[in-house]
Every structure is written in C-alpha cells, then in structure tokens.
Amino acid sequence: MKALVWHGTTDIRCDSVPDPQIEHPRDAIIKVTSCAICGSDLHLYNHFMPGMKSGDIMGHETMGEVVEVGAESKGKLKVGDRVVIPFTIICGECDQCKRGNFSVCERTNRNGHIAAKAFGHTTAGLFGYTHLTGGYPGGQAEYLRVPFADATHIKVPNSLSDEQLLFLSDIFPTGWQAAVQCDIEPTDTVAIWGAGPVGQMAIRSAILLGAKQVIVIDRVPERLDMAKAGGAITINLDEESVIERLNELTNGKGPEKCIDAVGMEAHATATIDSMYDRVKQATMMETDRPHVLREMAYVCRPAGTLSVPGVYGGLLDKIPFGAIMNKGLTIRTGQTHVNRWTDDLLRRIEEGQIDPSFVITHTVPLDQGPDMYKIFRDKQDGCIKVVLKP
C-alpha cells in the first residue's frame, strides 16, 4: 500500500510499504477514505519530538471503512462499518479509561516503560506519533491497523460526509476539551493563542459553550479572518501589543480563561523571548519555546484558568511561576480524551450546531502529502487544514 513515511527531519515521502495485518484478536483493519495532516505532525516533521525512526508511518487523523476484524473485536465492529479513529489508542478497561481519562490509558502504549522514564508514568499509545507513544504506524496511508479496535473507534452515520466527521479524530474534540477545561461561564472572556486548526475549533467550542467574548491571537491574516468568521475578536501580534489589547478588551482585568493552542513551536522570531528559546533549543539547553505560556500567565485575570491543548514535549525555561502562584491560576492540560466527548460532538454536528469542515483549505491525493507538509508548515497559500485522499 501507499503511505506517508518519515525518513528524517523535513523528509517525508510517499512510499510503498507492506499492507497491515491483524496481529492481535482485538485488532481491526480499516481502508482509509480520508486522513489529515495535524499541526502536531509538524513537530515530527521538524523533528522537535524525540523517538521517531526512519520508516515510521505518519498520521493520527483518520477515518474509513472496516475491512477486517479480529476475533475479539467482532462484537463491537463488523466489516463495512464506517468509523473515525481517535488518535489515542484506548483499552477501555484500565482505571484511567474507566474514569474517562483515555489519553492516559495505562495499557495501550507498548513502549510504556520509555514514556514512564520520560514522564514518570506511561501515557496512552498514539497512532503515528513516535516510539515514546508506542511506535504504532499512522493513518496517512491506504490501510490502517487499529489495535484495541473494539474500544478505539467512533462509529459514524452515512448521512454525514467524511469532511464533516474526520475531525472527530482529534482537532474538534481537542478544541472542545480546551474550552471545557475552561469551565466557561456566560460572563467569561476566553483568549485563545493560535488560530490554527485547534485554535479554530476552540473558538467555535467557546462560542457553543456561551462565552461572552472570544479573542484570538495570531499573525497570519487568513487565519485571523477565519477566526473572525467564527465570532472571535482578532489580535494580530505583528501589529498590536497583545497584552495591551487584551487588557483594553477586558477593562484592564485580563481574560478569565486563556487557551494555548500553539504549544512548543511558538514563532521563533516573533518575540524576543522566543528568539532566546530558539538559541537555547539549538544548543540543546531547552526543548520547547513556551512564549505563549509566559504571556498567558502574565495577562490572565487572577483566579483565572490556563488551558493548554498545545503540545509540549520536554523541558521549558523561564516559566513565570511566581505569577501563576500569586495570582492563583488554575492550569489544565493534557492530550485529548477523544472518546469522552465524541458522542456529544457527533450529535452537535448532526443537529447543525457546527460543521467542522469549515477549516479545510486543501484537499489533495495522498501522494501529494509530502509537498503539503511543507506548504502547511510554511503557512503558504492560505493553508490551514489539509485533507488527504488515499
């Protein structure tokens, strides 16, 4: 089959690889009908996340049709089922899964001992996302083996298009969880850093949850336009002072709720502290560029909440914990517990409250994926979200 394969830093190719096979009775194989490139795939493309090996298949936003089912998954899945595959692989049986904390499933990361060394404990296995999270082949391919398939799937109806459903795999529930972590009240101002795909979903989620005011910060005009269409007030960080403008929009009090939809790769030349971080990254003295965390901690209203769906990988420098402690801020973060939210979100799509397909700017065949990685990374051609068709 054809698949997008990681060969090294900024080197992704469309290769022919062996078809996946059932390896365990709980597995299933799906024929991929649509998959997408995620912003967090760019952390692998740029090789900021450790644990990739040449030959790894990329992708964790995937949907398709079940073509083969292992013996132990047959009660839950059958050939022909239309499914979206969540990016977190879940067993559905461990203590964390029973609590709904699917992204920290205790059993699906087959390299859990490596994750435990890095983070103290294992986290869930993820598709196409380093050997730290299990080294599972990803879904930017013609076929995907789904481990623990009896639990790791979202059945979807035929009445909706792939484009409406695909983002249940990651970015929609991720934006939703970011907003839910804020426990939004009707009087709240929610400030969101980053108008990429997750930021766009977080804006719509905050609007659905009834925030009084949603403000988004970015520097790419097209992304700001899309954010504005979704109901956000926009701040272009190249043109205005973010902190001054946020204070102005909140009568000097700061936003109650702040969402970091940027993560570890804050633009390296946009601010002085990011330049500092970039130098430290280059000299192996720091892994991430946490400009957004610093700015959120500074501007957030006392007793407010910082919600962090943006991906961080390792060790961060100069975090203003004095501001966080003295202002009594709450920090909520984590990879997304996809299946905890998807039944509710699917209903909202069906009811027409939201149509996540608004975010798609490019749809191309799978073999054009390598070029699209570069275009997406460089934010060229108005690129916000790429869907690949195998």
Partner 1 sequence: MRYETERTRRRGHADTATDTLARGLGIFSIAFGIAEIAAPRSLARALGMKGQEGLIAGYGVREIVTGIGILASKDPTPWIWGRVAGDGLDLATLATALEGRNPKKGNVGIAMAAVAGVTALDFYCAQTLSRESPHPLPPMQDYSDRTGYPRGIGQSHGAAQDFEVPRDFRTPEAMRPYSQPQAPQRPMPSM
- CB environment 93-114: b (16+ within 10 A), e (fewer): ebebbeeebbbbbbbbbbbbeb
Q: What is the distance between the alpha carbons of residues 256 and 90, in angstroms, rounded to a whole number?
A: 33
The residue among 74 and 98 lying less far from partner 1, judged by its C-beta, is: 98
We find the least distance from the C-beta atom of residue 166 to partner 1, in angstroms, to be: 14
Residues in the chain: 390
The residue among 114 and 184 lying less far from partner 1, judged by its C-beta, is: 184
CB atoms within 10 A of CB 27: 22
We find the least distance from the C-beta atom of residue 280 to partner 1, in angstroms, to be: 26
Give which of 389, 357, 351 is closest to 372, Cα–Cα: 389
The residue among 247 and 357 lying less far from partner 1, judged by its C-beta, is: 357
The residue among 21 and 353 lying less far from partner 1, judged by its C-beta, is: 353
Per DSSP, the residues of 259-309 read: EE-STTB--TTTSHHHHHHHHHHHTTS-S-B-HHHHHHHHHSPTT-EEEE-
Joined tokens for residue 63: 């949907």
The residue among 69 and 207 lying less far from partner 1, judged by its C-beta, is: 207
We find the least distance from the C-beta atom of residue 352 to partner 1, in angstroms, to be: 4
Beta-ladder partners of 4: 14
We find the least distance from the C-beta atom of residue 210 to partner 1, in angstroms, to be: 4
The residue among 219 and 280 lying less far from partner 1, judged by its C-beta, is: 219
Determine the residue type at 175.
Answer: G
We find the least distance from the C-beta atom of residue 35 to partner 1, in angstroms, to be: 21
The residue among 47 and 347 lying less far from partner 1, judged by its C-beta, is: 347
We find the least distance from the C-beta atom of residue 173 to partner 1, in angstroms, to be: 13
We find the least distance from the C-beta atom of residue 223 to partner 1, in angstroms, to be: 8
Half-sphere exposure of 220 (CA within 13 A, CB side): 21
Which residues sit at the interface with partner 1, rule CB under 8 A?
99-100, 180-181, 183, 185-187, 200, 204-205, 207-210, 219-222, 225-226, 228-231, 238, 256, 301-305, 328, 330, 332, 340, 344, 348, 352-356, 358-359, 361, 379-382, 384
Per DSSP, the residues of 76-88 read: T--TT-EEEE-SE
**Main-chain dihedrals φ then ψ at residue 64, nearest 5 degrees:** 175, -155
